[in-house]
Amino acid sequence: MNITAAYTDLYQLTMAQVYFSTKHDGRVVFDYYYRNNPFDGGYSIFAGLEDLLDILENLKFSSSDLLFLEQHGFERAFLDYLRDFRFQGNIRSSKEGDVVFPTRPILQVEANIIEAQIIETLLLNILNFQTLIATKASRIRHSAKDGVLLDMGLRRAHATGGYYASRAAIIGGFDGTSNVKAAEAYNIPASGTMAHSFIQSYGDELEAFRDFAKVRPKNCVLLIDTYNTLKIGLPNAITVAKEMESRGEQLMGVRLDSGDLAYLSKRTRTILDEAGLGYVKIVASNQLDEYVIKSLKEQGAKIDIFGVGTNLVTGKPDASLGGVYKLSEYKGEPRIKLSENIIKVSLPYKKQVYRMIDQNGLFYGADAVGIYSEDKVNEMVHPFDSTKNLDISALKHEPLLESVMENGKRVVPFRTVSEIAEYSKSRMAKLPEEYKRFQNPHIYKIGLSNKLKQERDTLVRQHKT
């Protein structure tokens, strides 16, 4: 499956047909944002932007897309429009890898309404998923401290979604992936050990270990739990490690994939050390996530490398990020969507978001949202509670949305996944610890400029009368 412009919901095209036929094709602004942090956490890591820009620059309807739409009753003049369709709009975005928070725009699209609508599904599909996985990865990194983290999830990923999961995992703080295709495409470190089937195929575990170590002495990791970890697997691994030493080689590690990882890793460490194999690392896998790794660390488990699969690549338990794409301007006029639930009321206008930086260069704990044309925002007000406001005039204001695409062409240089991961790490270092904890994290403040709040409230009143 190649991504073409038909990678969208049918209603985008139905609406586009109406806009086209009635010449209701003004310029619009759409906001991308989400309403709640995933995993009951205190932040998210924004990811997927580079992929999105790449796809948008080359987006077209294929001839088979057009044939399909013709068979579905779309009219000739509109099909001709679609044949020449290119995304020619502007995008202003947070930097990929930045730490982001609910309710404030992460990205804004400014385009003809037809183009803005056709790309909606694709944009949400790419950004929601990668942001979910980068955030999960970041939480796992937080637990693992300086342990090595490897993504091993492809077999449980959502089909080809696993390809994007491996990319997002690196952005969130993972060190490598088992996914060869993703490693190749995104220039990510690839890594792998051995499966139980390798040992089973030999029947005799020691013979299997010996063959493996002879052919692949570099980065050799032996899986020691196929028959019995401490009684069979570990003694066999020690035998092979000693044989490798006699050839001037070193066994890199042993892997535990079942049982009590805290207990087994400590016993394994002791036994390896007593055998003079202090350099042999311990790799652990088996349904790990941020909570299991945190608990293993607290129990003093002796694990150097964590292999994380299903819980990472599926973003469990949330499995989705509810990012939305809401119209905020049409032909220069502000637009909002009402809701019975006040926190679901959208914000009108083209906007800018400012991050407050304290005197030490760290995040102060507040992002302020203002109308794009506004001067400096000196006070931010709570979006729904007008009794709460904050004087931000003395803080440094960092504008977060920067132009990344103009008239359908990228205007920022390509950034590699490792550059984005480095940037993300530097941003996470500026976020105080209390926003990172898993239990009841501190709530990062999002405020509006007085002008934006007044304009929004006026629009709400107009629609309610």
Site for a second copy in 133-192 (CB under 8 A): 152, 154-165, 178-181, 183-185, 190-192
Q: Determine the size of the site formed for a second copy (CB under 8 A).
A: 105
CA distances to 102, 356, 420 from 99, rounded to whole Å, are 11, 13, 12
Supply the minimum distance, in Å, between the C-beta of residue 340 and a second copy: 6
Supply the minimum distance, in Å, between the C-beta of residue 154 and a second copy: 5
Nearer to a second copy, 307 or 447 (CB): 307
C-beta neighbour count of 172 within 10 angstroms: 30
Structure tokens at 442: 């501190």
Place of tokens 């042999």: 280
Q: Which residue stretch of 99-107, 140-148, 270-278, 327-335 sits at the interface with a second copy (rule: CB under 8 A)?
A: 327-335
- Tell me the torsion sign for CA atoms 75, 76, 77, 79: positive
- Tell me the torsion sign for CA atoms 275, 277, 281, 283: negative
17, 108, 138, 352: which one binds a second copy (CB under 8 A) = 17
Supply the minimum distance, in Å, between the C-beta of residue 66 and a second copy: 10
Report the distance separating Cα 369 and Cα 105, nearest Å.
8
Q: Does 80 help bind a second copy (rule: CB under 8 A)?
A: no
CA distances to 288, 293, 306, 373 from 298, rounded to whole Å, are 15, 9, 15, 51
Q: Which 25-54 positions form the footprint of a second copy (CB under 8 A)?
A: 26, 28, 30
Supply the minimum distance, in Å, between the C-beta of residue 445 and a second copy: 27
Instruction: Answer for the pair 170, 418: CB distance below 8 angstroms, yes or no.
Output: yes
Backbone torsion region of residue 177, taken as left when φ is above 0, otherwise alpha when ψ lies between -120 and 50, otherwise beta:
beta
Supply the minimum distance, in Å, between the C-beta of residue 179 and a second copy: 7
267, 297, 316, 451: which one binds a second copy (CB under 8 A) = 316
108, 128, 268, 285: which one binds a second copy (CB under 8 A) = 128
Q: Which residues pair with 255 in a beta bridge?
A: 223, 283
Supply the minimum distance, in Å, between the C-beta of residue 288 and a second copy: 14
Residue 438: CA count within 13 A, CB half-sphere: 15
Structure tokens at 425: 């790490």
Among residues 415, 187, 400, 192, the alpha carbon closest in space to that of 285 is found at: 192
Q: Does 72 help bind a second copy (rule: CB under 8 A)?
A: yes
Q: Does 200 help bind a second copy (rule: CB under 8 A)?
A: yes
Q: Which residue stretch of 35-43, 62-70, 82-90, 414-422 sits at the interface with a second copy (rule: CB under 8 A)?
A: 62-70
315, 370, 383, 447: which one binds a second copy (CB under 8 A) = 315
H-type alpha helices, 256-398: 261-274, 290-298, 310-313
Q: Does 461 help bind a second copy (rule: CB under 8 A)?
A: no
Q: Which 85-114 positions form the footprint of a second copy (CB under 8 A)?
A: 113
Q: Does 125 help bind a second copy (rule: CB under 8 A)?
A: yes
Nearer to a second copy, 197 or 393 (CB): 197
Q: Does 423 help bind a second copy (rule: CB under 8 A)?
A: no
Task: Assign 3-class secondary structure to 125-176.
Answer: HHHHHHHHHHHHHHHHHHHHCCCEEEECCHHHCCCCHHHHHHHHHHHHCCCE
Q: Which 215-234 positions form the footprint of a second copy (CB under 8 A)?
A: 215-216, 218, 226-228
Report the distance separating Cα 310 and Cα 431, nearest Å.
28
Q: Does 12 help bind a second copy (rule: CB under 8 A)?
A: yes
Q: Which residue stretch of 69-77, 92-100, 361-369, 383-391 sits at the interface with a second copy (rule: CB under 8 A)?
A: 69-77
Q: Which 341-370 positions form the footprint of a second copy (CB under 8 A)?
A: 344
Q: Which residue stretch of 88-96, 138-146, 323-331, 417-425 sits at the interface with a second copy (rule: CB under 8 A)?
A: 323-331
Burial 127-165 (b: 16+ CB within 10 A, else e): bbbbbbbbbbbbbbbbbbeebbbbbbbbeebeeebbbbb
Supply the minimum distance, in Å, between the C-beta of residue 357 and a second copy: 33
Q: Does 63 help bind a second copy (rule: CB under 8 A)?
A: no
Nearer to a second copy, 99 or 220 (CB): 220
77, 319, 342, 362: which one binds a second copy (CB under 8 A) = 319
Structure tokens at 257: 């994939």
Place of tokens 């950004």: 127
The SS3 assignment for 334 reads: strand
49, 119, 126, 377: which one binds a second copy (CB under 8 A) = 126
112, 121, 286, 389: which one binds a second copy (CB under 8 A) = 121
Report the distance separating Cα 168 and Cα 106, nearest Å.
17
Place of tokens 């995993």: 39
Q: Does 339 help bind a second copy (rule: CB under 8 A)?
A: yes
Q: Which 432-451 positions form the footprint of a second copy (CB under 8 A)?
A: none
Q: Which 252-311 positions form the footprint of a second copy (CB under 8 A)?
A: 258-259, 310
C-beta neighbour count of 392 within 10 angstroms: 21
